[in-house]
């Protein structure tokens, strides 16, 4: 039996120390999300970096190891973290490496697939559609060649499918940074982060209030437990504040470079708001969205009162807006289109 230590810091994530390949530890921890990293030579919990310790999984891993006779020690320090910019820079670097690696694999598979397909075609063409002469001495070789051509075609198709998959993944990795920094995506992320920050602040307040209320009673909170909970919440709060500040600065830089961030002040009722290739009449301007009509014709290019589905409406958030047009501009455009039709 082994002495196992499970450590967690936000900088390094959750790591398992004391295990050796083949000792069965990995198989026990697999159901809890643990994996083996060849690059570093130990077991880790996937997706645990830059996050609070997942106590449900850690307790589950500890229980299953102890049930198998291992001695397990948990060591958690939420205060050890890396800056958001360092974490973000590493994400971009790893995405670039992933794009390069997958692109190279796609090229190799594509080349191999093309060669196998061409070889299969060459074998088939060498017989020019001639049927197998069952009673002829060449029948055995003919059948073997046809079987080989069929096998090559199958391998070619399989490799082509894998090459396409790798190419798609490489393209996604290559555009990871641009997609993450997209203005609309960033605005939606900021809304979510601000909501999370408010939730953490409420949890911090309620944790302290609960401890004060039971202080001096039989239900008093253990000071060590209270300190651990507050340390975790404080680390969450610090992470969120740092992320929000970084993404707000990114939006400011994007606006300075000419990107348009749509806000309530940009619209008045009667304007038209663009979303992709469609235009919607603005019925009401709200703090976080615009109220627009629902149409009886989902294929319509312009949604307004003329094709509104009764009195039904929907909302369009500002982070998805792609353009604006005044009511007069839309009327002039529709009149011009009717004239040239």
Whole-model pTM: value is 0.83
Asked if pLDDT for residue 247 goes beyond 80, the answer is: yes
Q: What backbone torsions phi and psi does residue 23 show, to the nearest 5 degrees?
A: -85, 0
Q: How confident is the model at residue 38 (pLDDT cuts 50, 70, 90)?
A: confident
Question: For residue 291, which of 309, 312, 310, 307 has the smallest C-alpha distance?
Answer: 312
Mean pLDDT of 92-104: 96
Q: How confident is the model at residue 235 (pLDDT cuts 50, 70, 90)?
A: very high
Tell me the per-residue pLDDT of 162-221, one tens digit each, with 9 for 90 and over. 999 999 999 999 999 999 999 999 999 999 999 999 999 999 999 998 888 877 787 788
What pLDDT shows up at residue 339? 84
Radius of gyration (Cα) for the chain, nearest Å?
A: 31
Distance CA 68, CA 60 (A): 13
Could you name the CATH architecture of 3-77?
A: 2-Layer Sandwich (3.30)
The one-character DSSP state at 299 is: T
Distance CA 69, CA 267 (A): 67
Considering only 188-197, 222-231, 263-272, which range has the smallest mean pLDDT? 222-231
Distance CA 311, CA 126 (A): 71
What pLDDT shows up at residue 139? 83
Q: Cβ neighbours of residue 62 under 8 Å, at least 6 residues apart? A: 6, 72, 74
264-340 maps to CATH 2.60.40? no
What pLDDT shows up at residue 23? 86
Answer for the pair 211, 275: CB distance below 8 angstroms, yes or no: no
Average model confidence (pLDDT) across the chain: 92
Asked if pLDDT for residue 224 goes beyond 90, the answer is: no
């Amino acid at each position: 039996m082994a002495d196992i230590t499970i450590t967690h810091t936000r900088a390094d994530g959750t790591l398992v120390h004391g295990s050796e390949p083949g000792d069965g530890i990995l198989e026990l921890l697999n159901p809890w999300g643990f994996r083996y990293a060849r690059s570093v030579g130990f077991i880790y919990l996937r997706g645990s970096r830059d996050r609070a310790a997942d106590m449900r999984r850690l307790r589950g891993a500890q229980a299953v190891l102890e049930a198998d006779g291992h001695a397990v020690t948990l060591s958690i320090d939420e205060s050890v973290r890396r800056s958001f910019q360092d974490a973000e820079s590493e994400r971009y670097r790893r995405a670039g490496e992933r794009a390069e690696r997958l692109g190279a694999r796609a090229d190799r598979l594509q080349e191999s697939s093309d060669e196998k397909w061409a070889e299969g075609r060459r074998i088939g063409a060498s017989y020019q559609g001639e049927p197998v002469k069952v009673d002829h001495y060449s029948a055995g070789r003919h059948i073997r060649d046809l079987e080989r051509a069929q096998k090559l075609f199958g391998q070619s198709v399989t490799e082509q499918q894998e090459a396409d998959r790798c190419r798609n993944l490489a393209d996604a990795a290559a555009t990871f940074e641009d997609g993450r920094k997209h203005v609309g995506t960033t605005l939606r992320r900021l809304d979510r982060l601000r909501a999370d920050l408010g939730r953490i602040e409420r949890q911090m307040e309620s944790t302290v209030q609960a401890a004060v209320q039971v202080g001096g009673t039989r239900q008093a909170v253990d000071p060590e437990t209270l300190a651990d909970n507050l340390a975790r919440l404080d680390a969450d709060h610090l992470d969120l504040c740092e992320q929000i500040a970084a993404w707000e600065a990114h939006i400011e830089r994007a606006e300075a470079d000419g990107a348009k961030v749509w806000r309530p002040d940009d619209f008045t009722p009667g304007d038209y708001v663009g979303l992709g290739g469609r235009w919607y009449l603005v019925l009401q301007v709200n703090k976080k969205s615009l109220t627009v009509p629902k149409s009886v014709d989902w294929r319509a290019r312009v949604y307004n009162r003329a094709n509104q589905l009764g009195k039904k409406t929907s909302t369009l958030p500002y982070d998805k807006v792609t353009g604006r047009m005044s009511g007069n501009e839309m009327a002039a455009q529709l009149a011009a289109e009717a004239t040239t039709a």
